[in-house]
Amino acid sequence: MLVSTTEIDVRYAETDQMGVVYHANYLIWMEIGRTKLIEDLGFKYADMEKEGILAPVIDIQASYKKAVRFGEKVTVKTWIEEYDGFRVSYGYEIINGSGDLAATGVSKHVCVRKDSFRPIAIKKMFPDWHNAYENAKKRDK
């Protein structure tokens, strides 16, 4: 499978009173990783939005393993965990500056029409995306 890699410098504003990255920032990093994966596949999420289609999160899970602190550089690894032509689940690993696994996660999405929020079939409306997602799932990690 295709695994996209994104490096992020941890900013002071992302930390909490304990000096570690506040948990909600991991969700932002996942979004950055997801956007990068889509770009690595040759697409831009903004182009889908121009067509009147959105991809809201319908479920998200994060497990925190090790602390990340200000000044570190984290690596976000992102891949397609599951895809069925309608729904897509992205998998994530966030590696801290010491090379340790800091967090894992999965986000689930469905594409909907912006005006009605009715789901659409990716494979019918965006066949190029569909083919790229199918191929990305099959590649070796």
> What residue spans define the domains of the chain?
3-136
Is 16 catalytic? The answer is yes
Q: Answer yes or no: is pLDDT of 140 > 90.
A: no
Q: Answer yes or no: is pLDDT of 109 > 60.
A: yes
Note the pTM of the prediction, 2 decimals: 0.93
Which residue of the set 16, 47, 84, 128 is catalytic?
16
- The predicted pLDDT at position 1 comes to 85
Tens-place pLDDT, residues 80-96: 999 999 999 999 999 99
Strand (E) or helix (H) holding 73: strand 73-83
Give the C-alpha separation, 95 to 66, whole Å: 9
- The predicted pLDDT at position 133 comes to 95
- The predicted pLDDT at position 34 comes to 97
CATH code of the domain made up of 3-136: 3.10.129.10
- The predicted pLDDT at position 139 comes to 59
Q: Answer yes or no: is pLDDT of 141 > 50.
A: no
Sign of the Cα torsion 14, 18, 20, 22 reads negative
